[in-house]
Amino acid sequence: MSFVRFLARPMLASSFVLAGMDKLKNADDTATQLSPLLRRAAESLPFQADEKVLARVIGGTQVGAGVCLALGKASRLAATVLAVISALNGYVEWRSADISSKEGRDARRKQLLKNVSLTGGVLLASVDTAGKPSLAWRAEHLAADARKTTAHLAADARKTTGKKLKKADKAVRKAVDHAVGA
């Protein structure tokens, strides 16, 4: 891991870990703020779920994914989870912000820009392969190598078969000549 990644991942993850811990501590407030979305989510689940429990799950997921990102463990998956949570949080905070005053509208805009920036940061982290090729790239190149190898083997087989046929043809002619001459 490069020095920049070593520093950047925990720096980016810290905001998510702290926000997730806040969601866990203040599950009632989180449930109130997220209630329209949580109500829909609770209705679509195949089991009964309380909005407060879902708020805690979101907070715990945010903490867990943030810690994984900070430690560099399954960081691409963790960053993808954080991107989804960040986009969701940004939308909810934007909708629930107080816009009755100029200060409220300014705070709403600043909060939206912060959330957009964090979402962009974790989206970049979600595609960061740390200088290693992605699984898709590896699979594509493995398939191309297999095609090349197969083509070489087929060419070698044709060449060997052609030589064997020539030898067999020569042997048959020699046997025919020998039989005719005898």
pLDDT in tens, 77-101: 999 999 999 888 888 778 777 788 8
pLDDT band at 182 (very low <50, low <70, confident <90, very high): low
Q: CA dihedral in degrees (93, 95, 98, 103; nearest 10)?
A: 70
| pLDDT over 80 (residue 132) | no
Average pLDDT over residues 33-61: 78
Per-residue pLDDT at 11: 92
Long-range contact pairs involving 1-5 (C-beta distance under 8 Å, separation at least 24): 1/72, 1/130, 2/130, 2/131, 5/72, 5/128, 5/130
| CA-wise closest residue to 66 among 116, 2, 22, 131 | 22
pLDDT band at 13 (very low <50, low <70, confident <90, very high): very high
Q: What six digits make up the tokens of 62?
A: 């945010």
Are the CB atoms for 80 and 62 separated by under 8 Å? no
Cα–Cα distances (Å) from 115 to 40, 97, 118, 171, 178, in that order, read 23, 13, 5, 82, 92
Per-residue pLDDT at 47: 72
128 CB-near residues (< 8 Å, 6+ apart): 5, 75, 76, 79
Per-residue pLDDT at 177: 82
| pLDDT over 90 (residue 2) | no
DSSP 72: T
| CA-wise closest residue to 118 among 71, 59, 61, 62 | 62
pLDDT band at 131 (very low <50, low <70, confident <90, very high): low
> Residue 62 burial by CB count (10 A; 0-12/13-18/19+): exposed, middle or buried?
buried
Q: What is the mean pLDDT of the chain?
A: 84
Q: CA dihedral in degrees (76, 82, 84, 89; nearest 10)?
A: -170
Single-letter residue type at 168: A
Compare 134 and 25 and report the one with higher pLDDT. Answer: 25
pTM as predicted: 0.64
Compare 62 and 48 and report the one with higher pLDDT. Answer: 62
Q: Please provide the size of the chain in residues.
A: 182
